[in-house]
Structure 1
Amino acid sequence: MPIALLPDRALVTVTGSDATDLLQGVLTCNVATLPEGAARLGALLTPQGKILFDFLISRLPGGFRLDVAAEQAPALAKRLSLYRLRAKAEIAADPTVAVAAAWDGDTTAAEVARAEDTRAPGLGARLYAAEGAFSADAAPDDYHAHRIALAVPEGGRDFGLGDAFPHEALMDQLGGVDFKKGCYVGQEVVSRMQHRGTARTRILAAHYPEGEAAAPGTEITAGGKVMGTTGGTAGDRGLAMVRIDRLGDALAAGEILRAGDLAVALQRPAYAGFAMPEAAGAPAA
């Protein structure tokens, strides 16, 4: 079982008798229904519905842990504190706990907290423990290659925080948005996109048949028109944020897709169910 320490991840904890109600009222995901031992995708949005922070949330005794990009942890804790008001909840970044990812196996170490990553089948689990509790046998890049192979995006790597709507980052496909739980910050915009079907931009799986991937942030073009930009890559695989309508027009016209000077093929992730132009091919395996 590969285990990779993720030094670029950190925890924000929210504990106290009002922790559930506080988070339920501001986050995109449903924390009230979160099972023990599961890590669910969630986000805190701007009032305009764009993703400020994306994270994995799981339960701990008396509250929740939010597994977020390490550089974002202090800002997330501060932002959540603005919504606390009189709620009985303690919010803090916790630098004492290390974060790791495990996949293709199991771990039974008693001192390690394990939360199954529910975003997509095969993604694995998150492990949380004090520094030195893990016996890592894989590198962070190995985990990101695994994640990219499954076409699971991550904020700050595959899309810009503050720029993308949840639908664009596939949060509606990855269990990161609950459309029935009621109000949260940015909820009106997200619900309108869901009910009107106005999400024209999506993250797609990218395959580079020449074996070389384009650098993140490279424009994807066809027939001289820009339709998206590349995200993270691993080997000949990657992710890309693409306008689906423009992709359909390009494929219908028989135009070649390129990321910079490199040919690229784009596919819907295997777990996703949104509509794609037929000529784009089958879902990514």
Structure 2
Amino acid sequence: MNTFWQYLSTQHPASEIRDGRYWQTDVQPQINPDLLQLSPLSQYGFLAIEGPDCSKFLQGQTTCDWRTISTEQASLGSYCNIKGRMVISFTAGMASPEIALLRLSADTADSGRDTLAKYIVFSKAKIRNASDERVAIGISGKLARQNLQAIFEQLPKKAMAQVSSDKGIVVQLDEAGERFEYWGPCDQATDIWQQLSPTAQICNADYWESLNIAAGIGEVCASSQDMFIPQMLNYQVIGGVSFSKGCYTGQEVVARMQYRGKLKRRLYKATVPASGLNYPAGTELFGGDAEQSIGNLVSMVGGDQSSALLAVLTEDAVAGKQIHFSDSSTLLTVTELPYAIPSKD
């Protein structure tokens, strides 16, 4: 546990990180989007790739185009195995021209580091798990930009833009400027928290996941590694795959699916009218009375009366509308994503 989490435990003695992922306090406020929300993102860790070849190395390994990623521009992305299956997914940014950061699911940081380390030996760069050194904080709500402007001299002005300073990195996730991630060293993160928290609603970390679900952004965690190709999580639509960057690990499979294949499964958003559900990512879903799985859960957040989720499902199953978990007859209701899917997909 790094110093930020130690500090937070003193401020919220009844808080805990449940199931090794989501920070949860004793009292969750009734969320008012007109105010400022602050979420400590315990579910995330960091890989740091440092050296003059950091971007060049990642260009040959990941799905995003590192020629466009800078101290002013972030990107979604993933690293795939040779079969095109996602080993890690991440949001990529640059702390400096020679320090690249991958913000990813904390439970994939070690395996992601170990896998990428096999290929970095011939590059002028080094990779390490920086999860004990850096912290991610979610800042959201209509007052998010206003409050951040009181701390940072500059802020990003569009979706997936970033600014980097000695205080850390701020990434804007939406066009409206109502959702940001802060990435910073533990001491700086503690200072940022102290400045923002007095006027903020302190939200459980799974609140941030509920915003990801609402935005249709699926991510890979330890229980879903090697399960999805990027198109199954709609990464070709939301900016996580470049088809003009050239070769990278798994590129042949990803490109073949885009130009010649027919995607049989993709990401859908859904709700289920049951509270307190807590299925892990990767859990199989079924259609009607069929015994064969028709998809897998990507993420899920339970509410008081219903639960929201993202799942990779077959088109036929969605058309049939009889989707459920194996141990429940309660049916999922598929809802609209906030972005359009091209018809060929």
Tell me which interval the TM-score lies in, with the shorter structure as reference length.
Answer: 0.7 to 0.9
1:155 aligns with: 220
- 1:193-215 deviation digits (Å, cap 9, x = unpaired): 0002421101100023x454754
Q: Is the 8 A contact 2:224 2:298 kept in 1?
A: no
Deviation at 1:63, TM superposition (A): 2.6
Q: Is the 8 A contact 1:98 1:130 kept in 2?
A: yes
| 217-226 or 86-95, larger mean C-alpha shift | 217-226
Q: 1:96 aligns with which of 133, 139, 148?
A: 133
1:22 aligns with: 57
Q: 1:86 aligns with which of 113, 122, 126?
A: 122
The 3 A distance-change label for structure 1 pair 229 and 26 is closer
Q: Distance in 2 between matches of 1:80 and 1:112?
A: 25
Q: When the two structures are superposed, what TM-score results if normalisation uses the length of structure 2?
A: 0.70
2:250 aligns with: 186
Deviation at 1:257, TM superposition (A): 4.1
1:115 aligns with: 171
Q: When the two structures are superposed, what TM-score results if normalisation uses the length of structure 1?
A: 0.84
One-letter code aligned to 1:78: D
Deviation at 1:122, TM superposition (A): 7.0
Q: Is the 8 A contact 1:227 1:247 kept in 2?
A: no
Task: Give secondary structure in 2 for the equivalent of 1:78.
Answer: helix
Q: 1:68 aligns with which of 97, 101, 104?
A: 104
Q: Distance in 2 between matches of 1:198 and 1:59?
A: 35
- The alignment status of 1:272 with 2:340, answered yes or no, reads yes
One-letter code aligned to 2:286: I
Aligned residues: 269
- The alignment status of 1:125 with 2:180, answered yes or no, reads yes
The 3 A distance-change label for structure 1 pair 198 and 117 is same
Q: Is the 8 A contact 1:115 1:127 kept in 2?
A: yes
2:285 aligns with: 219
Q: Is the 8 A contact 2:140 2:178 kept in 1?
A: yes
Q: Is the 8 A contact 1:12 1:92 kept in 2?
A: yes
| 91-100 or 120-129, larger mean C-alpha shift | 120-129
The 3 A distance-change label for structure 1 pair 246 and 274 is farther
Q: Is the 8 A contact 1:4 1:142 kept in 2?
A: yes
Deviation at 1:39, TM superposition (A): 2.9
One-letter code aligned to 1:247: V
- 1:114-167 deviation digits (Å, cap 9, x = unpaired): 12236x87782221123223325222021112212222212128x711111111
| 60-69 or 105-114, larger mean C-alpha shift | 105-114
| 41-50 or 147-156, larger mean C-alpha shift | 147-156
Task: Give secondary structure in 2 for the equivalent of 1:72.
Answer: helix
Percent identity of equivalent pairs: 20
Structure 2: stretches of 5+ with no match in the other structure = 1-35, 153-166
- 1:217-259 deviation digits (Å, cap 9, x = unpaired): 25232354643244433333211220113433x26xxxx4444
The 3 A distance-change label for structure 1 pair 71 and 215 is closer
2:237 aligns with: 173
Task: Give secondary structure in 2 for the equivalent of 1:32.
Answer: coil
Structure number with the higher helix fraction is 2
Q: Distance in 1 between matches of 2:74 and 2:178?
A: 11
The 3 A distance-change label for structure 1 pair 246 and 211 is closer
The 3 A distance-change label for structure 1 pair 275 and 222 is farther
One-letter code aligned to 1:114: V
Task: Give secondary structure in 1 for the equivalent of 2:243.
Answer: coil
Task: Give secondary structure in 2 for the equivalent of 1:240.
Answer: strand
- The alignment status of 1:233 with 2:297, answered yes or no, reads no
Q: Distance in 1 between matches of 2:276 and 2:216?
A: 15
The 3 A distance-change label for structure 1 pair 37 and 90 is same
Q: Distance in 2 between matches of 1:276 and 1:144?
A: 29
Structure 1: stretches of 5+ with no match in the other structure = 278-285
Q: Is the 8 A contact 1:99 1:128 kept in 2?
A: yes
1:283 aligns with: none
Q: Distance in 2 between matches of 1:275 and 1:214?
A: 33
- Computed over aligned residues only, the root mean square deviation of the Cα atoms, in angstroms, reads 2.6
